[in-house]
A and B are shown apart, each in its own frame.
Chain A
């Protein structure tokens, strides 16, 4: 009874998943466990609307996290996302307040983020300065722009914005907002670009080994600039969604959001060293973070600081897991 090694490997494959899938599967399992805990503890939790609310409340986070996944897959990092989200919301609110046409406002808001991302990508590539520092400067810059525009919150009363914010898309007895559809569309496009396009392959190749990618003749510089531009675009879209959600622009909104986003991407199984991870994992990561918040809200006796501690604990567990299943860490 001899089997070929290949057959033996294939025979084992149904339960022995490839190591690079372990973190994503672990996140999925965690999500299911947390959801079951919620359902078993609180009656109202089983309402499908709870799930929809998670998407409604965190659509902008999801969009920004998709952009961050691109950057982290190349082995970079983008600390500016939270500030760019705030800047986009501020610019939109301020321009709408000036009576500009909403379509024009949308265009301007959606151009600013990618422009800043492009500029940061260029500095990172052409002057070979660490992404960490460049995007840190970008973060300061965008946050400074917010307060330069206004130090107080600007309400949005524009008809298009309020319609986009309040319109409910009914699915049976439940509903989602327009933002959710936009967020899911961005997610789908992001996943498709990474999986099926040349750009996506280049992103993975650069994250895997930049030297090899360069020697293979891949457009390393162009790809690196592209991912920061994509991240800027996603942050801009996220900013628009956030301004739909809050119907205002505030200078201190989304402070520390970059950390939530990085945490979501890491919990979603993407390696911070780059080269391995999926947009689907990022979706799961965002869902895990938002389910934690939902659980803590439902509990009512726990305070919001527990969210941070739990997220920190989860980060630790997932990083340890990534280390244990032996995927390349450095």
Chain B
């Protein structure tokens, strides 16, 4: 009895337990609303279905959240990812739109390389401000968050650049081996980051810098270089996300691309169990967090609720997940558990509202 209980506490105590519960609840609500929700079919060798769509649409968020996880692991934060996505998307689309043959693969590759290069520069700028000059990350990246949008519009001269390039479109809506190409990219980057950080010492070094940068430096870790690096990686991830977003709609709008994605990404990372204080990161958690947020958004669309209202649901989910994960809240809950009345009732009812 006691071991079963201990095991149960072990499961419910796992940092991914509650995010997964909310994710499953959302999926169940979708199935109740529309029983065909879970069906996935193979058409012309491509996978189709609501689930596939959700994963495809969350690909940009997953990418941004991956970069954000690393930044947050070092105790920083990157507010500029949305702006970086907008800039790199605008650069790529501008280059393609200027070429006579927009369908040439070489043109698209050059465009992507250009956008990626600009993103690396922007990431390096953030990295220099944070690691080199020692400005607080939230402010250092705030600069680019504000100026980046202006930069994206400057590149596009205030216009929405529309392109007509099939190879570029593939990044957003194409397929590879029956899977949407965006999912393949997100999967590949996730695996790459996971292998680099979890199969080498890099992840531990990043966490140690986040735990205590000075102590890490004294222990022989080039902590500044690591800090610099994570901002570059974050910008690189944001750039790929930017290509996906612009490829999805075959156009680049400096104002709209990646709007609020930084906030969604931070939410995804926090839902995934990574503390904003740094020192630890969980890539799997961030991916699940991103899926959760996208599922929420898609469900709201699917249920014919006004899209903007999804913000209301997002707010409720964020607070519920954060509260459940907060040590202070758990302590309160545990202390009062001996009392017959269950004090988490309000949280439970709040969660009920999500699918409704």
A→B interface (CB under 8 Å): 77, 123, 126-130, 132-134, 136-141, 143-148, 151, 251, 259, 262-263, 266, 272-273, 303, 305-309, 311-313, 315-316, 319-320, 323, 329-330
In this assembly, does B276 line the interface, its C-beta being within 8 Å of a C-beta of chain A? Answer: yes
Q: Which of B15-23, B141-149, B233-241 contacts A (4 or more CB under 8 A)?
A: B141-149
Measured CB to CB, the closest approach of chain B to A252, in angstroms, equals: 8
Q: Chain A residues with Cβ under 8 A from B147's Cβ?
A: 308-309, 311-313, 315-316
CA distance A307 to B332 in the complex (A): 48
Query: Cα distance A259–B263 when bound, in Å?
Result: 13
> Top 7 closest A-B pairs, CB basis?
A312-B147, A144-B312, A308-B150, A147-B308, A141-B315, A140-B315, A144-B311
Known: A123-B323, A312-B148, A313-B147; 13 extra A-B contacts, CB below 8 A, are A127-B328, A129-B322, A130-B276, A147-B311, A148-B312, A259-B145, A272-B139, A303-B153, A308-B146, A308-B153, A312-B144, A312-B146, A312-B147
Q: Contact at B315–A151, with CB atoms within 8 Å? A: no
Size bracket, chain B contacts: 35 or more
Given A312-B144, A319-B140, the answer on whether A145 and B312 have CB atoms closer than 8 Å is yes
Give the chain A neighbours of B277 by CB distance below 8 A: 130
Report B301-334 residues with CB < 8 Å from chain A CB: 306, 308-316, 318-319, 322-323, 326-329, 332
Residue from the list B145, B150, B316 in contact with A306, Cβ < 8 A: B150
CB-nearest residue of chain A to B307 = A147
Known contacts A151-B306, A305-B150, A323-B133; decide if A144 and B315 are in contact (CB<8 Å).
Answer: yes
Task: For the complex, give the distance between the alpha carbons of A251 and B309 in Å.
Answer: 11
A-B contact pairs, 9 of them (CB 8 A): A130-B276, A133-B267, A136-B266, A141-B311, A141-B315, A147-B306, A147-B311, A308-B150, A312-B150
B interface residues (Cβ-Cβ under 8 A, vs A)? 77, 129, 133-136, 138-140, 142-151, 153-154, 158, 254, 263, 266-267, 270, 276-277, 306, 308-316, 318-319, 322-323, 326-329, 332
Closest-CB distance, A294 to chain B (whole angstroms): 17
| A residues near B136, Cβ cutoff 8 Å | 272-273, 329-330
Q: Contact between A315 and B146 (Cβ–Cβ < 8 Å)?
A: yes
Partner of B142, one of A127, A144, A259: A259
CB < 8 Å neighbour of B143 from A132, A305, A312: A312
Q: How far is the CA of A145 from the CA of B109 in the complex (A)?
A: 44
In the complex, which residues of chain A have a beta carbon less than 8 angstroms from the beta carbon of B144?
312
Which A residues lie within 8 Å of B154 (CB)? 305-306, 309
Residue of A nearest to B314 (CB): A140
Q: Is the CB of A319 within 8 A of B309?
A: no
Q: Which residues of B contact A313 (CB under 8 A)?
A: 147
